[in-house]
Amino acid sequence: MMFLESGHWLGRGSVLAEGQSRGRPIECRVLVQRDGEGVTLTGGWHGKGEQEREFVVRLASNDVGTYTLTMQLAGDHLHGTAKLDSPPNLGLLWNDSGSLHATFALFAVSRGYGFRGFVRDAAPTVRGGVTGRIFTWEVAFSLKQEVVKGDNVVSLHRRRR
């Protein structure tokens, strides 16, 4: 799982609900932290003008060569499994009641990673039916570069005016 470099990652992309013809732009932020037992991803995502939805994901290798996932997202607790050691990097998440399922793929793109997937939310409605909403998303992530300032830094490149 070498591709998940520690640090602050920023993402931009879109979410598309089934039946819509145009995706809704979203922005994401993720802090990737490694420890001796796995990786923790802490962050949030939001659409333009919306409140941020925070999440925490924990990845840990298991004894069968894949990774065990847990995710806390807006009151939902999801469990899952993923194959993250070689392309294609794929995963599946679900909640305890089985009303929410998500799949994802993580892949290299220029200067970062692409994150694409589907969510099926089959939560019961007030009338006892099932919503059956399906969403898909695409997000491109890049590592946030910290700007280092100092009086002793000299640029060897000419700047355009």
pLDDT band at 151 (very low <50, low <70, confident <90, very high): low
Query: Domain holding 56: CATH number?
Result: 2.40.128.20
So what's the pLDDT on residue 18? 85
**Would residue 160 count as lying in a domain?**
no
**Would residue 34 count as lying in a domain?**
yes
Between these two residues, 150 and 49, which has the higher pLDDT value? 49
Q: What is the rounded average pLDDT for all residues in the chain?
A: 86
Name which of 95-104, 107-116, 120-129 the model is least confident about.
120-129
pTM of the model: 0.81
So what's the pLDDT on residue 30? 96
Given a cut of 60, whether residue 161 has pLDDT beyond it is no
Three-state SS annotation for 88-99? CEEEEEEECCCC
**Would residue 2 count as lying in a domain?**
no
**Averaged pLDDT for residues 103-119:** 93
Given a cut of 80, whether residue 158 has pLDDT beyond it is no
Q: What is the pLDDT of residues 22-70, one digit of tens each?
A: 999 999 999 999 998 899 999 999 998 899 999 999 999 988 889 999 9
**Would residue 93 count as lying in a domain?**
yes
Domains contained in the chain, number: 1
**Would residue 155 count as lying in a domain?**
no
**Would residue 67 count as lying in a domain?**
yes
**Would residue 54 count as lying in a domain?**
yes
Domain that holds residue 71: 7-143
**Would residue 154 count as lying in a domain?**
no
